[in-house]
Amino acid sequence: MPTFPFPRHAFTLIALAAAALTSAHADTVTVAVASNFTAPMQKIAAAFAQDTGHQAELSFGATGKFYAQIRNGAPFGILLAADSATPEKIASEGLGVGATRFTYAIGQLALWSKQPGYVDAEGKVLAKTDWRHIAIANPRLAPYGAAAMQTLEKLGLAGQVQARIVQGENIAQTYQFAASGNAELGFVALSQVTENGRLREGSAWVVPTAMHDPIRQDAIVLKSGEGNAAATALMNYLRGKKARAIITSYGYSF
């Protein structure tokens, strides 16, 4: 049977047609992301765009502030919260799609110092008196702050260190206090100081999870994201192997 060569330019035309089709069906979703999840979400969004053609426009901040903005009509399509309570509240108030809510990560608390060798592997530095300040996120608003206070209470040190606490509005500001040296110590999210399982700088004690309530971080599609193809695709992508590999590389679990 005779064969006929397939013109090279035909492959180019097919590729261009496929790209055009993907672009035509691509969508964009705005995502409100808890501060502690900044680094992994930036990587996930880039991979998501490359793999699906959809775009995720990211805003980072405190979950409590995002909740207030959502209640006031901010057009976010998805919330990646620092807790589970806020997405649950959003669902109950009809601001989000309850059936889409799931735990995308479980956070890990760490006691960190910018100084190498300053924090020991068991956190015994907390009982010393030669440091002046410790940064902790507002425990009334931030799950990592609440976990930090629970840890101090479990160690019997809450009263002893109370006068030396510098309170951050959120976990991002808390990290800045410690990173700038304004506080010798800081209870931060492990994801803020590690990458690919390694500490980027300084010294840290990874707080055992038994010392505080689980820091369960939930995602939910908001009402303005309902029916958005990119929102649906991103929620599925967060459950996939590639996204989960990125998430675990920053010290989160599931």
Q: What is the CATH number of the domain that holds 44?
A: 3.40.190.10
**Nearest residue to 235 (alpha-carbon basis) of 54, 39, 50, 5:** 54
The residue ranking higher by pLDDT, 219 or 62, is 219
In angstroms, the CA 166 to CA 40 distance is 26
Q: Domain for residue 9, yes or no?
A: no
Q: What is the percent of the chain with per-residue pLDDT over 70, rounded to a whole number?
A: 90
Q: Domain for residue 88, yes or no?
A: yes
Q: Are residues 224 and 180 in the same domain?
A: no
pLDDT computed for residue 9 by the predictor: 53
Q: By the 8 A CB rule, do 196 and 249 touch?
A: yes
In 116-198, which residue ranges form alpha helices assigned H by DSSP?
143-155, 158-161, 171-179, 190-193
Q: Domain for residue 4, yes or no?
A: no
Q: Domain for residue 8, yes or no?
A: no
Q: Domain for residue 227, yes or no?
A: yes
The residue ranking higher by pLDDT, 64 or 47, is 47
Q: Are residues 124 and 198 in the same domain?
A: yes
List strand residue ranges (DSSP E) for 35-184, in order: 55-61, 78-80, 102-107, 109-113, 134-137, 165-168
According to DSSP, the β-strands at 28-34 and 215-221 are unpaired
Distances (CA, A) of 111 to 161, 164, 170, 196, 207: 14, 15, 16, 18, 7
Q: Are residues 118 and 102 in the same domain?
A: no
Q: Are residues 155 and 219 in the same domain?
A: no
Q: Domain for residue 6, yes or no?
A: no
pLDDT interval class at 7 (50, 70, 90): low
Which H or E element spans position 25? helix 8-25
pLDDT interval class at 17 (50, 70, 90): very low
Q: By the 8 A CB rule, do 108 and 253 touch?
A: yes
Q: Domain for residue 15, yes or no?
A: no
Q: Domain for residue 13, yes or no?
A: no
Domain count, the chain: 2
Give the bridge partners for 112, in sequence order: 186, 204
pLDDT interval class at 54 (50, 70, 90): very high
At 33, is the secondary structure helix, strand, or coil? Answer: strand
pLDDT computed for residue 15 by the predictor: 46
Q: Are residues 95 and 220 in the same domain?
A: yes
Mean pLDDT to the nearest integer, 179-187: 97
Q: Are residues 33 and 57 in the same domain?
A: yes
Q: In which domain, by residue range, is 176 found?
A: 109-206
The residue ranking higher by pLDDT, 104 or 62, is 104
pTM: 0.86
- For the cut 50, the answer to whether the pLDDT of residue 179 exceeds it is yes
In angstroms, the CA 7 to CA 46 distance is 34
Q: By the 8 A CB rule, do 111 and 186 touch?
A: yes
Q: By the 8 A CB rule, do 155 and 79 touch?
A: no
pLDDT interval class at 55 (50, 70, 90): very high
What are the structure tokens assigned to 124, written together? 């015994």
pLDDT computed for residue 197 by the predictor: 84
Q: Are residues 32 and 115 in the same domain?
A: no
Q: Are residues 90 and 174 in the same domain?
A: no
pLDDT computed for residue 6 by the predictor: 47
Mean pLDDT to the nearest integer, 127-150: 94
